[in-house]
Structure 1
Amino acid sequence: MSFFDFWYSHAPIFAILIPAITAFIMVLLGNPGAGALTHDWRQPWRRGLSLVSVGLGLATAINYLLLANTGQITVYQLSEWSAPFGIVLVLDRLSAMMLVLTYTLAAPVLWFASKGWDSRGRYFHAMSHFLLMGLSGAFLTGDLFNLFVFFEILLMASYVLLIHAQGKPRFQLGIHYVSINLLASALFLIGLGIIYANVGSLNMADVARIMPTLPTDQHRLATAGSLLLFVVFGIKAAILPLGFWLPKTYAVASTPVAALFTIMTKVGIYAILRVNGTVFQDDLSRDIFSTWLLPIALMTSLYGAIGALAAARLRRFVGFMVLSSVGTILIAIAMMNTAAWAAALYYLVHSTLIAAAFYLLCGWITSQRGQHTDHLLVAPRMKQAHVVSVCFFIIALMMAGLPPFSGFWGKVLILGATAQFHAQAWVIAVVLLVSLISIIAFTRAGFVLFWQATAPEDDPKEEAYSAYQKLPAIAPPRNDKAIYLLLTGLVIYVVCASPIFNYVEQTAVQLKDTQQYIDTILKQDQQGQVISVQPFDPNYVPETKYNGEQADPYAQLVPDLVSEDVWQGPHISPYKKQQAELQNQQANTPDQALLNAVEP
């Protein structure tokens, strides 16, 4: 095969393999103590490999976006067994968009971190790429248990990254962060167990197909499992009352880690949209989900804005604004219509990149305020006050949702989608109120940081004079440039709003078409029936190499589930092939009589 045939035949596994292989190479390179990293001869190799890998990942994500833009859903079968018996990766418009967002964020952040921040702790680049591996896998998987696995990968990487550069506050809140996520992981497994016990499958397409056909008792239990997953995803997305941990936790993370973590809440939103919004789409699940999601989203958005207004530190200010944006996105998802989902996806990209830029700006401001760091207290004027204030002003306009930036258009699209919605008045009132509170909060922070800043001490005899002179006169290396890259990207985002909105609109339409998702992923037998685990037979034991050859009433389905190479290969026994041939012959006879099982 040519290179391109090989590339497309194995899409989308490369999006996971690239960061995975990079991370393993980083681990094999070894890592001395943090104090020796600056002089370690391997550090330039780590940085170069990390940046090349993230650039290759970005190129791969863009390539997948172009592939998904054709409307095609690409299914990759791990081990060459079809769903629901094998695990599959699924590349559609939504997963491709999330991959591009992930690498668009990671590229400038890792480029900035490679200029010194990565030397303040061990295995920074390795953990960053394990995080990218977990994110990519979570966006691409078509299996609920595999979603749990990739969640655990990205969470374990985030545990290490959170305490990068060490410090008592990071360890204290790191324990808090780990404890909450371990609880969420336990609930995740319980929810998966409930769903599997009643549905008999964990493949997303298969669960979506089977749910409406379940008996009443099983259906209610499976619905309870789906709502337990919603609680788990709510913890990841930091919605009320499960999101109080986020502002403090992100505030103590190092600058590049905090910027990178802005994509983490979007994993929770993605999971809510993918699993609760499209997989569990039977009447009962949909009604409960939409009924509870809207008030939670409204409260989250309002709480985040009020928290930002009362924040005593700039980093916590950003954390509360992240919470508010999560609530705004979920308000649109709760409306459960195509236009609202498209608006939510458009706003999701904006909120992720602008929050990352704001965290990077916090690092810049902290470096120039000395002992005042990012506390919202009156301090001597920063040495780069003019350029920093301009960046703050632009970020404030974007994040508060003022024209002509992408935040404004995202909120306009959300408000436009409220037509015919039963809670239209509540949505409009909260979105506008949150925007007003955000403007006031940014005005307050700007006044303290810039307008009320005092003149620096000019008496050389004073201790404050020497302390001020020691402060850097320029931004930390690459800090300002990384901010400029993100802000430029957001300007391009609003300039290209029309084609981008067309894409997210088609993405929302594709998400609503659950039947296309099912038809693409699941295989059918010769009679046109979906090959699935239903009806579930708890006494059925398939033939395996561990229990010997046994009569298999479903042997005729195996050729439809595997590729021709696998069927003709050594892993399918002659006995299995003989059973399949006889069952196919019997199925084609006029009387449709059952043949006796072939003896081994």
Structure 2
Amino acid sequence: MMNFLDFWLQHMPIFSILIPAFTGFLLILLGNPGSGSLASDWRQPWRRSISLTSAILGFATAIYYLYQANTGQIFVYELSEWSAPFGIVLVLDRLSALMLVLTYALATPLIWFASKEWDARGRYFHAISHLLLMGICGAFLTGDLFNLFVFFEILLMASYVLLLHGQGKARFQLGVHYVTINLLASALFLIGLGMIYGSVGSLNMTDVARIIPTLENDQHTLAVAGGLLLFVVFGIKAAMLPVGFWLPKTYAVAATPIAALFTIMTKVGIYAILRVNGTVFHDEWGQQIFSNWLLPIGLVTSLYGAIAALGAERLRRFVGFMILSSVGTILIAVSLLNEAAWMAGLYYMVHSTIIAASFYLLCGWITSQRGQFKDHLKIAPKMKQDKVVAITFFIIALMMAGLPPFSGFLGKVLILQATADSPYQIWIIVIVLLVSLLSIIAFTRAGFVLFWRATTPEDNPKEEAFAAYQKLPHQAPARNDKTIYLLLTGLIFYVICAQPIVHYLELTAKQLKDADLYQETILKTDRDQEYISVQPFDPNYLPETKYGGENPDANAHFIPYIISPNTLKGDHISEYKQRQIQHQEHELTPLDDTKLQPMEQ
């Protein structure tokens, strides 16, 4: 038992990636007869059981990570036992643990909901869903910019397939747009990484953050330009204006559980903005450019989303515009660059994710009750469950608009309190309050059309409308209402337990601001207690392996500090290299710095 616990602790951060990865591969290997016969396929109960069990296990793992991260310790997992910045590392801190819990708190009930009916409408729903979770969890855990790109591509490829789940012309058309936009964003991502690597010589987030303030003017300008290019990419993912117009229409055509699950994907973009632009490019110039751009973008995005919701013709697009508005509100908090604002933004981000998912589920419920009118905001016959649907809509409206006593209200209050030292405090307060007012008006308009002005159903059996109305279901789609109640109950407990949650988020924001802590935890030092790094980057330096010949290596003394003892004893380190290491450890005088030296050619 102790060996298992030691193994678990040693490899802890990677399990949130491996669990959905292995689940996805297993479900693919299980096979699939096609969407037309999924419901009667003997393997379908196995798919559902494996998928739901994996989601529950992932949720339990995320909660355990949150418990460990609450100690304040940052856990680093070195892939292939190579230390940063030479190897890729996974980093589990308070923020990544929070995002993992949020991901699985949303994914677990949605997979349970989809397992009743929706998963039979298209092939490989469960397999692709877990590959999406793999990409999302990897993006939250990675400490390397290029690895962030890799996990972005994994989650995007999975989202391409999920968007088309259930087929349909509208899904295919908007799917092409969605793929095109994200391929462009991926190209910009690579260009930005190239600019950063070309000027810094490293892509480890902590190492880049340490090196950027020390660069010369030209290199520093190139690195910051690369960072701003990444900011555009992350903005596309987060759906901020002017690169977020794609979201309302795209999410509106997705299947109900998939649209709800996609609400976490915009938060991946916000997380990347906070993690990369907020902490990596933290020198005065980079932060000034970042804050000067982000605040007006956040204000405009928040206001635009609320105004566009007023004119939405479909309820699903209405939800999409409200998501845009919430994204803008979070970006306002991030742009303030202080711990109180970041804490408030994180609190509101959790709320906005869960309530948006609940709203998409409600859209599915309303669509099933309105027949040919679907989710169009047009006057239609009264729904058969109009009272319970109206009450659910009313509660979601209060939460999403930010009215007391719910978590949306508390989140906005915390954001407004964090503006105390901002020179733009008046602008922020006015916009946030105006957005809340517009949101209330937009919800009132939608509720007025859906419920207040609903007509009396046709009662003449001879009319076609009577038969069409009688065919409509008398209850919500299987598990739809229960999943909504579960998510809303979670948000109620979220505001009831606000004190310990806010305390955790305060410590999270404080930890994010502590650059020295990340450097001490992630980077290694030599015998002079100087960080081992690749700066300045020397393109002529050629690392030597056991296959590279027996050439003198001025950097041999660094090897014991950047690889594990087991690797050091392995056969990849030649005897000649071992002798060099021992010689330099005993003979080399203390260095004035820890810059890598060019190899003798």
TM-score w.r.t. the length of structure 2 is: 0.98
The residue aligned with 2:160 is 159
* Amino acid in structure 2 at the alignment position of 1:314: L
**Identity %, equivalent residues:** 72
**Would the aligned equivalents of 2:345 and 2:411 in 1 still touch at CA under 8 Å?**
yes
The residue aligned with 2:37 is 36
Rounded Cα–Cα distance in structure 2 between residues aligned with 1:572 and 1:587: 20
The residue aligned with 2:392 is 391
The residue aligned with 1:259 is 260
The residue aligned with 1:284 is 285
Q: 1:404: Cα distance to partner?
A: 0.2
SS of the residue corresponding to residue 134 of structure 1 reads helix
Inter-CA distance 598–99: structure 2 relative to 1 (3 Å threshold): closer
Q: 1:549: Cα distance to partner?
A: 3.7
Matched, 1:329 2:326: no
Rounded Cα–Cα distance in structure 1 between residues aligned with 2:64 and 2:556: 39
* Amino acid in structure 2 at the alignment position of 1:329: I
Q: 1:591: Cα distance to partner?
A: 14
Rounded Cα–Cα distance in structure 2 between residues aligned with 1:497 and 1:257: 29
Deviation track 1:209-243 (CA, whole Å, cap 9, x = no partner) reads 00011011000010000000000000000000000
Matched, 1:401 2:402: yes
The residue aligned with 1:439 is 440
The residue aligned with 2:428 is 427
Q: 1:515: Cα distance to partner?
A: 1.4
Inter-CA distance 69–598: structure 2 relative to 1 (3 Å threshold): closer
Rounded Cα–Cα distance in structure 2 between residues aligned with 1:459 and 1:383: 17
The residue aligned with 1:533 is 534
The residue aligned with 2:187 is 186
Rounded Cα–Cα distance in structure 2 between residues aligned with 1:590 and 1:294: 45
Q: 1:299: Cα distance to partner?
A: 0.2
* Amino acid in structure 2 at the alignment position of 1:334: S
- Of residues 532-541 and 363-372 in structure 1, the stretch that sits farther from structure 2 once superposed is 532-541
Q: 1:583: Cα distance to partner?
A: 1.1
- Of residues 28-37 and 348-357 in structure 1, the stretch that sits farther from structure 2 once superposed is 28-37
Inter-CA distance 351–598: structure 2 relative to 1 (3 Å threshold): closer
Matched, 1:145 2:130: no
Q: 1:30: Cα distance to partner?
A: 1.1
Rounded Cα–Cα distance in structure 1 between residues aligned with 2:55 and 2:592: 61
Show the 5 A alignment for 1:200-599. Answer: 200-588=201-589
**Would the aligned equivalents of 2:546 and 2:574 in 1 still touch at CA under 8 Å?**
no
Rounded Cα–Cα distance in structure 2 between residues aligned with 1:209 and 1:15: 28
**Would the aligned equivalents of 2:13 and 2:91 in 1 still touch at CA under 8 Å?**
yes
Rounded Cα–Cα distance in structure 1 between residues aligned with 2:20 and 2:298: 33
Rounded Cα–Cα distance in structure 2 between residues aligned with 1:589 and 1:294: 47
Rounded Cα–Cα distance in structure 2 between residues aligned with 1:433 and 1:282: 34
* Amino acid in structure 2 at the alignment position of 1:430: I
Q: 1:101: Cα distance to partner?
A: 0.0
Q: 1:598: Cα distance to partner?
A: 12
The residue aligned with 1:24 is 25
Rounded Cα–Cα distance in structure 2 between residues aligned with 1:300 and 1:549: 60
**Would the aligned equivalents of 2:546 and 2:572 in 1 still touch at CA under 8 Å?**
no
Rounded Cα–Cα distance in structure 1 between residues aligned with 2:69 and 2:139: 17
Q: 1:519: Cα distance to partner?
A: 1.3
Q: 1:545: Cα distance to partner?
A: 4.7
Rounded Cα–Cα distance in structure 2 between residues aligned with 1:552 and 1:164: 55
* Amino acid in structure 1 at the alignment position of 2:482: K
**Would the aligned equivalents of 2:200 and 2:211 in 1 still touch at CA under 8 Å?**
yes
* Amino acid in structure 1 at the alignment position of 2:114: A
**Would the aligned equivalents of 2:200 and 2:536 in 1 still touch at CA under 8 Å?**
no
Rounded Cα–Cα distance in structure 2 between residues aligned with 1:24 and 1:547: 37
Rounded Cα–Cα distance in structure 1 between residues aligned with 2:577 and 2:205: 28
Q: 1:2: Cα distance to partner?
A: 2.5
Output the aligned Cα RMSD: 1.7
The residue aligned with 1:96 is 97
**Would the aligned equivalents of 1:380 and 1:453 in 2 still touch at CA under 8 Å?**
yes
Q: 1:550: Cα distance to partner?
A: 2.8
Number of aligned positions between the proteins: 597
Inter-CA distance 87–599: structure 2 relative to 1 (3 Å threshold): closer
Deviation track 1:176-205 (CA, whole Å, cap 9, x = no partner) reads 000000000000000000000000000000
**Would the aligned equivalents of 1:315 and 1:374 in 2 still touch at CA under 8 Å?**
yes
The residue aligned with 1:125 is 126
**Would the aligned equivalents of 1:239 and 1:297 in 2 still touch at CA under 8 Å?**
yes
Inter-CA distance 380–549: structure 2 relative to 1 (3 Å threshold): farther
* Amino acid in structure 1 at the alignment position of 2:555: Y
The residue aligned with 1:174 is 175
**Would the aligned equivalents of 2:135 and 2:151 in 1 still touch at CA under 8 Å?**
yes
Ranges in structure 1 where 5+ consecutive residues have no aligned partner: none
SS of the residue corresponding to residue 90 of structure 2 reads strand
TM-score w.r.t. the length of structure 1 is: 0.98
**Would the aligned equivalents of 1:579 and 1:598 in 2 still touch at CA under 8 Å?**
no
**Would the aligned equivalents of 2:528 and 2:591 in 1 still touch at CA under 8 Å?**
no
**Would the aligned equivalents of 1:211 and 1:219 in 2 still touch at CA under 8 Å?**
yes
* Amino acid in structure 1 at the alignment position of 2:143: G
Ranges in structure 2 where 5+ consecutive residues have no aligned partner: none
Rounded Cα–Cα distance in structure 2 between residues aligned with 1:591 and 1:139: 37
Deviation track 1:400-421 (CA, whole Å, cap 9, x = no partner) reads 0000000000000000011011
**Would the aligned equivalents of 1:205 and 1:521 in 2 still touch at CA under 8 Å?**
yes
Q: 1:551: Cα distance to partner?
A: 2.2
Deviation track 1:525-584 (CA, whole Å, cap 9, x = no partner) reads 001110111122211101135543432211111001111111112221111111111111
Rounded Cα–Cα distance in structure 1 between residues aligned with 2:399 and 2:6: 42
Matched, 1:135 2:146: no
The residue aligned with 2:3 is 2
SS of the residue corresponding to residue 75 of structure 1 reads strand
Q: 1:37: Cα distance to partner?
A: 0.6
SS of the residue corresponding to residue 203 of structure 2 reads coil
The residue aligned with 2:112 is 111
Deviation track 1:288-335 (CA, whole Å, cap 9, x = no partner) reads 000000000000000000011110000000000000000000001111
Rounded Cα–Cα distance in structure 1 between residues aligned with 2:545 and 2:392: 63
The residue aligned with 1:49 is 50
Q: 1:47: Cα distance to partner?
A: 0.3
**Would the aligned equivalents of 1:354 and 1:487 in 2 still touch at CA under 8 Å?**
yes
**Would the aligned equivalents of 1:542 and 1:550 in 2 still touch at CA under 8 Å?**
no
Rounded Cα–Cα distance in structure 2 between residues aligned with 1:187 and 1:591: 39
Deviation track 1:21-69 (CA, whole Å, cap 9, x = no partner) reads 0000011111121101111111110000000000000000000000000
Matched, 1:70 2:85: no
Deviation track 1:336-361 (CA, whole Å, cap 9, x = no partner) reads 11100000000000000000000000
**Would the aligned equivalents of 1:335 and 1:418 in 2 still touch at CA under 8 Å?**
yes
